[in-house]
Amino acid sequence: MNQKPIQTRLLGSTHQKVTRAGLGGEGILRTQGRNHESREVIQAAIDQGITYFDSARVYADSELYYGHLWKAQPHLRAEVFQASKSASRNKAAALVDLQQSLARLQTEYLDLWQIHDVRTPQDIALIARPGGALEAFVEAREAGKVRAIGVTGHHDPAILTQAVREWPLDAVMLPVNPVEEVLGGFLTRTLPEARKKGMAVIAMKVLGAGHYILPQTQITAAALIRYALSFDIDVAIVGCSTPAEVKNLADTGRIAAPLDEKERHDLLRVFKPIARRMAYYRGVIQS
């Protein structure tokens, strides 16, 4: 396929280069028994030149979908960046998750393994205590079963910032969209803290599960992806349900120019009055 390559960037201090547009673990991947459709989406991402592939142990059959393809075409696995996540809070359960993820993904290692969906002070305490999940992540990195470790969160910016500041991590995944610029927190506190530590930054909730695409105001998926890529992040991931959505994601990742000031202003003008109720993934909005 003769096409302009997607922009790439080094993922923080991991020394691994990824495309700035990545395939998210939602969309068709977070289903069960949709083998044909999921294979079409993953293959479309490969054909488009996308190299970052997101998943999680709790994302239905997503790991199995990838694993079927990596087993059938093992040469592809070495060419991509495969991430997954564990939501377990203790060491033993996290290690079980890792072994299951590796088996389901048909791979001997993960490029990135993430502590999934950290929300509360209790999460922080459970994960960081002796025998907590953080020990499993650090040991897995030292053993070479994972090349990098990270944390994800979209509920409370203060909690995610604390994890970034206190834990020996390589990456953080956080929401990046116009709602977040209006509300502040993830983009004003967590992102700068991660960059201060040299960590990779992965953007999620870019389209707000599709809720932020507003055709009546000319807010398209492409505009929202370009918006996310205008921040100091390494990769923006988007869940896709069809090859056409994958192509749109990849084509947007090929665009060199970020949003201009008028485009950015127009986006924020639409979202400012509705930002609090549109931040569904935060749960209770905190002032």
Domains of the chain: 8-282 (3.20.20.100)
- Please give the DSSP secondary-structure letter assigned to residue 49: T
Q: Model confidence at 97, in pLDDT bands (50, 70, 90)?
A: very high
Task: Say yes or no to pLDDT of 278 above 80.
Answer: yes
When the pLDDT of each residue in the chain is averaged and rounded to a whole number, the result is: 95
d(CA 189, CA 79): 34
How many degrees, rounded to 5, is the angle at CA 146 between CA 143 and CA 151?
Answer: 120
Neighbours of 214 (CB within 10 A): 15
What average pLDDT does range 32-56 have in this prediction? Answer: 97
d(CA 28, CA 42): 10
What average pLDDT does range 24-41 have in this prediction? Answer: 96
Helix locations, 62-206, DSSP H: 62-72, 74-77, 91-105, 121-128, 133-143, 157-166, 178-183, 191-196
Task: Say yes or no to pLDDT of 67 above 80.
Answer: yes
Tens-place pLDDT, residues 220-266: 999 999 999 999 999 999 999 999 999 999 999 998 777 888 989 99
Looking at residue 285, its pLDDT comes to 47
Task: Say yes or no to pLDDT of 71 above 90.
Answer: yes
Looking at residue 2, its pLDDT comes to 65
**Residues of the chain above pLDDT 90, percent:** 89
Task: Say yes or no to pLDDT of 216 above 70.
Answer: yes
Using CA atoms, how far residue 114 sits from 88, 119, 157, 257, in Å, is 11, 14, 17, 30
Those residues with Cβ within 8 angstroms of residue 172's Cβ, 6 or more apart along the chain or in another chain = 150, 151, 152, 153, 160, 163, 164, 190, 194, 199, 200, 201, 202
d(CA 23, CA 238): 5
**Residues of the chain above pLDDT 70, percent:** 98
What average pLDDT does range 32-49 have in this prediction? Answer: 97
